[in-house]
């Protein structure tokens, strides 16, 4: 299966991301109700308001990450991955990953002191570093492509 262009795996992933962003927005809207039910039935020791604040302030950057990935996969669908907008999308996603890591790092002390928070921090620190490095690599690839286009 093709990776770029129409009828490719990137088109399929883009559709999945669009479903994911819609679901994420619905979850953010219903978050107060969902969190109350979660606390009532699953984890009654969790403090409602600190958890709600943490989930909202980390949910917004998560939705931004998904949106930036939709933009990235749109360029793959158009078979034009070496553009500055993709570098910006990766950098914004890396910054949002760092924000989420910091929020959960602080949230470990105020909301929950579980292993889950530590895992989330670790995953998003790795995502931050990986996305930042990928953005720099893509920037270099764009520079080499432009240089090569001028040579020919």
pLDDT in tens, 71-97: 998 888 888 888 999 999 999 999 999
With 70 as the cut, is the pLDDT of residue 152 above it?
A: no
Lowest mean pLDDT among 8-12, 60-64, 89-93, 126-130: 8-12
With 80 as the cut, is the pLDDT of residue 151 above it?
A: no
Mean pLDDT across the chain: 90
Closest CA to 89 of 25, 14, 7: 14
String of b and e for 79-90 (b: at least 16 CB within 10 Å)? eebeeeebbebb
Closest CA to 117 of 142, 131, 100: 100
Helix boundaries (H) for the chain:
9-41, 48-77, 84-110, 115-151
Identify the pLDDT of residue 75.
87
With 80 as the cut, is the pLDDT of residue 27 above it?
A: yes
Identify the pLDDT of residue 44.
87
């Amino acid at each position: 299966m093709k990776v770029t262009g129409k009828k490719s795996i990137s088109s399929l992933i883009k559709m999945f991301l669009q479903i994911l962003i819609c679901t994420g927005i619905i979850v953010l809207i219903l978050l107060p109700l969902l969190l109350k039910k979660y606390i009532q039935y699953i984890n009654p020791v969790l403090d409602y308001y600190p958890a709600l604040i943490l989930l909202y302030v980390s949910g917004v950057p998560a939705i931004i990450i998904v949106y930036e990935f939709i933009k990235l996969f749109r360029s793959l669908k158009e078979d034009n991955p070496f553009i500055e907008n993709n570098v910006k999308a990766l950098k914004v996603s890396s910054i949002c990953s760092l924000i989420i890591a910091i929020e959960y790092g602080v949230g470990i002390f105020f909301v929950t002191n579980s292993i889950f928070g530590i895992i989330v921090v670790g995953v998003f620190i790795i995502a931050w570093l990986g996305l930042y490095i990928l953005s720099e690599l893509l920037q270099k690839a764009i520079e080499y492509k432009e240089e090569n286009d001028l040579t020919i």
